[in-house]
Structure 1
Amino acid sequence: MSSRKNTITLQIPEVKTLHKTPYPAISTLRPELSQAGRTILIAGGSTGIGFAIARAFVKAKAARIILLGRRKAVVEESAARLGVEARASESDTVVIPLVCDVADLEDTVKLWEDTFKNHLGGIVVDVLVLNAATGGEAKPILEGGLSTTWKAYELNVRTLLDFSQRFYKQDGENNQKKYLINVSTAAIHNFETDANAIPAYGLTKNAGTLLMQQIAKDTSPDDMQITSFHPGGIMTEQVRSLRIPEDLYDWDNEDLPGHFAVWLASPEARFAHGRMLAAHWDVDELKGGEVEKRIESQWNYLKIGVIGLES
């Protein structure tokens, strides 16, 4: 692990090894992580981290990947690129680009009630990746105003609830276990990072991750395994739009959260149901070690709460 000028890592004492690039334990070529036969739906999958996650599922031999994006040209170009990569890796993955504003309830009704059922032959989604998000404005909340902050809630919280409910209640013959993966952020915990300049982001991503935590509390991981994770420090299109200098951080490789997401969509991550992890944490140190023991013994470990309180 290299030293960082400014860290975007989340650290816990139980995990000593931090990664910046994919490594064997989360390799998409491991048979244990195969996604063969599965349909993967990625909200916010046409660029950045979402695209890297889609690419990882292609390598893991998913049957089909549905990419959602607001910009038709971008999502179609991304699907075409993934198709090329699928052929290059001898994967039979079919990539389906769909234009959808996931923060628009009318769009999501059309997606789940019409497109999936009628136009795509009653498709049943096996893995849902919630990656779409908005940062909000780089202003204090009271200066940004109600409408700006509420728009962040609509995408970063309401969309998660909308998609989670529809995913869980799908009709169809596929009664297999489902996997729900929420791409969260270190900003839900550390409000003193650079994300503090866009406070509505940390606020609403925190609320969205707490929502996933609450849903997981009442949902068996045998039915729907739910995890949230910090993807690491990735230089994406959205980060560039915030004008953060590229030399400010020692950025992580974008394939790291992609491969980590594939690992989360496997039974190996069952112990982390309802918890918040980080893509750079070594999974061999997570599973079967002190982390798993603390999850079993401490209901609030790696969950959202107030630091310093005891119960």
Structure 2
Amino acid sequence: MSSIEKQALDLTAHHAVTNAIDPQGALAGSATGKVLFITGASQGIGRATAAAFAAAGAKSIYATARSEQGLQEAREVVKEANPNTDYAYMSIDVTDAMQVSAAVDDCVAKFGGVDVADANAGALGPWKKLAVSDPDGWWTTFEVNVRGAYHVARYCLPHLIESAAKPQEDGAQGGHLILVSSVGAQLLVDGASDYQTSKHTINRLCEFVHSDHGAEGVKCFAMHPGGVATEIGKSMPEYMHAHLNDPPELAAAFAVWLSSGQADWAAGRYLSANWDIKELVSMKARILEDDLLVNRLRARW
């Protein structure tokens, strides 16, 4: 947990799935009847998220990523978590609007809609100071992280609005959009301008989704997934690897919790998978009253 997070909320940090967010514990059945559309599902956090939603009872998983082999492997993981969960996939590049649009259309054609969308695909280039950075590489990181998330939001939102308007089998509304952010969005580390700027932008994009479509029932969250030793995570400088001490299942379980209806009051905000859920909920009044966990410029005169 960063110093900025501690100043906002003094919460216990967890580095393993607790019962409060366990898809087979407190959240068992919370995804019943729901359709999940997810990007970056071929490995790591994305694959774990698909499995977690299946374990929580999801009706269908529509998985996307660049690696077709990884998506086929993810199908087996989903089947193991819940053999009753339907699974379909499409290999896409999230920076291509038409490819994302086609995948969303195929998901709707196969499964009837989208109840939860998870923009999980991400990129992280070599950490270099601006004066020696590679322009194409810098922008590629931004394109994948921001443009990719925008595409998921843009093409899933009409279906999420429809989902939010209809009752779900478990009584909870649908219409949840999860944008995978990072604690890096709150930090300023030399050499990480592409990644940290893009994740800071994700937080603001989440706020705009809430501002534009919250009244239509969409609940959007910018989620820090914890420090996970994914391929992206391990591409950070070696001195950062000590912070990669969370399993991908933690972020996956937290995503299920975010879409369970229990976090709807915090829509439009940045939330961390490491935070203790009971403590977070106990601070609901303070968070809303002081407008915490959003991008704001504060000054004293």
Using the size of structure 2 for normalisation, the TM-score is 0.86
Residue 63 (structure 1) aligns with = 59
Return the match for 1:296 from 285, 288, 299. 288
Larger RCO (alpha carbons 8 Å, 6+ apart): 1
Change (3 A) 1:136 1:269: same
Equivalent residue letter for 1:240: K
Q: Distance in 1 between matches of 2:161 and 2:268?
A: 25
Change (3 A) 1:258 1:228: same
Return the match for 1:231 from 218, 225, 229. 225
Report if the CA contact (8 A) 2:176-2:259 is conserved.
yes
Report if the CA contact (8 A) 1:44-1:69 is conserved.
yes
Equivalent residue letter for 1:108: V
Return the match for 1:34 from 13, 27, 30. 30
Report if the CA contact (8 A) 1:15-1:281 is conserved.
no
For the residue of structure 2 that corresponds to 1:67, the secondary structure is: strand
Report if the CA contact (8 A) 1:157-1:204 is conserved.
yes
Q: Distance in 1 between matches of 2:144 and 2:244?
A: 29
Change (3 A) 1:140 1:31: closer
- Shift of the alpha carbon at 1:102? 0.9
Indicate yes or no: 2:90 matched with 1:98: yes
Indicate yes or no: 2:248 matched with 1:254: yes
Indicate yes or no: 2:185 matched with 1:188: yes
**Mean Cα displacement is larger for which, 12-21 or 239-248?**
239-248
Q: Distance in 2 between matches of 1:277 and 1:297?
A: 17
Residue 126 (structure 1) aligns with = 115
- Shift of the alpha carbon at 1:247? 6.6
Number of residue pairs matched? Answer: 291
Name the % identity.
25
Return the match for 1:213 from 207, 210, 219. 207
Equivalent residue letter for 2:90: L
Alignment map for 1:1-311 (pairs within 5 Å)? 10-12=5-7, 14-29=9-24, 30=26, 34-87=30-83, 92-113=84-105, 115-116=106-107, 120-121=109-110, 123-170=112-159, 174=163, 175-176=165-166, 177-192=174-189, 196-220=190-214, 223-242=217-236, 244=238, 248-249=242-243, 251-287=245-281, 289-290=282-283, 292-299=284-291, 301-306=292-297, 308-310=298-300
Once the two structures are superposed, residues 158-192 of structure 1 have per-residue CA deviations (whole angstroms, 9 ceiling, x without a partner) of 22222212111139975433000111101101113
**Mean Cα displacement is larger for which, 154-163 or 26-35?**
26-35
For the residue of structure 1 that corresponds to 2:242, the secondary structure is: coil
**Mean Cα displacement is larger for which, 255-264 or 102-111?**
102-111
Equivalent residue letter for 2:118: V
Q: Distance in 1 between matches of 2:271 and 2:46?
A: 17
For the residue of structure 2 that corresponds to 1:256, the secondary structure is: helix
Gaps of 5+ in 2: 167-173
Report if the CA contact (8 A) 1:141-1:149 is conserved.
no
Q: Distance in 1 between matches of 2:208 and 2:187?
A: 21
Q: Distance in 1 between matches of 2:27 and 2:247?
A: 23
For the residue of structure 2 that corresponds to 1:134, the secondary structure is: coil
Residue 170 (structure 2) aligns with = none
Equivalent residue letter for 1:205: K
Using the size of structure 1 for normalisation, the TM-score is 0.84
Gaps of 5+ in 1: 1-6
Q: Which has the higher helix share?
A: 2
Q: Distance in 1 between matches of 2:147 and 2:237?
A: 28
